[in-house]
Amino acid sequence: MNVVLEHDGEQEKIMGNVTHLEVTGEGVVVSTLFEEPKLVKSAWVKNIDFQGGTVTLDNKELNHD
Protein backbone atom coordinates (compact mmCIF):
# COMPACT_ATOMS: atom_id res chain seq x y z
CA MET A 1 0.00 0.00 0.00
CA ASN A 2 1.29 3.48 -0.87
CA VAL A 3 0.82 6.48 1.42
CA VAL A 4 0.61 9.95 -0.13
CA LEU A 5 0.21 13.41 1.40
CA GLU A 6 -2.16 15.74 -0.42
CA HIS A 7 -1.50 19.46 -0.35
CA ASP A 8 -2.65 22.21 -2.72
CA GLY A 9 -4.17 19.64 -5.08
CA GLU A 10 -0.83 17.84 -5.44
CA GLN A 11 0.11 14.44 -4.01
CA GLU A 12 3.52 13.71 -2.52
CA LYS A 13 4.47 10.06 -2.04
CA ILE A 14 5.46 9.52 1.59
CA MET A 15 6.22 5.79 1.52
CA GLY A 16 5.53 2.70 -0.57
CA ASN A 17 4.94 -0.90 0.50
CA VAL A 18 3.57 0.29 3.85
CA THR A 19 2.86 -2.54 6.26
CA HIS A 20 1.71 -0.52 9.28
CA LEU A 21 -0.14 2.78 9.76
CA GLU A 22 -0.96 4.28 13.15
CA VAL A 23 -2.86 7.48 13.92
CA THR A 24 -1.37 9.19 16.98
CA GLY A 25 -1.87 12.48 18.77
CA GLU A 26 1.06 13.92 16.78
CA GLY A 27 -0.08 12.74 13.35
CA VAL A 28 0.22 9.52 11.35
CA VAL A 29 3.10 7.06 11.66
CA VAL A 30 3.79 4.80 8.67
CA SER A 31 6.34 2.01 8.38
CA THR A 32 7.48 -0.87 6.21
CA LEU A 33 9.31 -4.07 7.01
CA PHE A 34 12.71 -2.60 6.09
CA GLU A 35 12.47 1.15 6.75
CA GLU A 36 12.33 3.17 9.93
CA PRO A 37 8.87 4.46 10.88
CA LYS A 38 8.07 7.94 9.58
CA LEU A 39 5.85 10.46 11.36
CA VAL A 40 3.72 12.74 9.19
CA LYS A 41 3.03 15.54 11.67
CA SER A 42 -0.50 16.90 12.11
CA ALA A 43 -1.79 14.54 9.42
CA TRP A 44 -5.09 12.71 9.25
CA VAL A 45 -6.42 10.00 6.94
CA LYS A 46 -8.43 11.67 4.18
CA ASN A 47 -9.33 8.50 2.28
CA ILE A 48 -8.28 4.93 1.56
CA ASP A 49 -8.46 3.42 -1.92
CA PHE A 50 -8.34 -0.30 -1.21
CA GLN A 51 -8.52 -1.31 -4.87
CA GLY A 52 -5.81 1.17 -5.90
CA GLY A 53 -3.69 0.47 -2.82
CA THR A 54 -3.36 4.10 -1.71
CA VAL A 55 -3.91 5.89 1.59
CA THR A 56 -4.26 9.66 1.18
CA LEU A 57 -3.27 11.86 4.11
CA ASP A 58 -3.93 15.57 4.58
CA ASN A 59 -2.48 17.91 7.16
CA LYS A 60 -4.72 20.94 6.73
CA GLU A 61 -7.03 21.71 9.61
CA LEU A 62 -10.63 20.70 9.14
CA ASN A 63 -13.11 23.56 9.11
CA HIS A 64 -16.12 22.57 11.26
CA ASP A 65 -18.66 25.34 10.62
Q: pLDDT 10s per residue in the chain (65 long)?
A: 999 999 888 999 999 999 999 999 999 999 999 999 999 999 999 999 999 999 999 997 655 44
What's residue 30's pLDDT?
98
Q: If we measure between CA atoms, which residue out of 24, 22, 5, 23 comes closest to residue 14?
A: 5
- Decide: 3 and 21 in contact? Cβ < 8 Å: yes
What's residue 8's pLDDT?
85
Positive/negative CA dihedral, 33, 10, 5, 26: positive
The Cα–Cα gap between 15 and 55 comes to: 10
Indicate the pTM of the whole model: 0.88
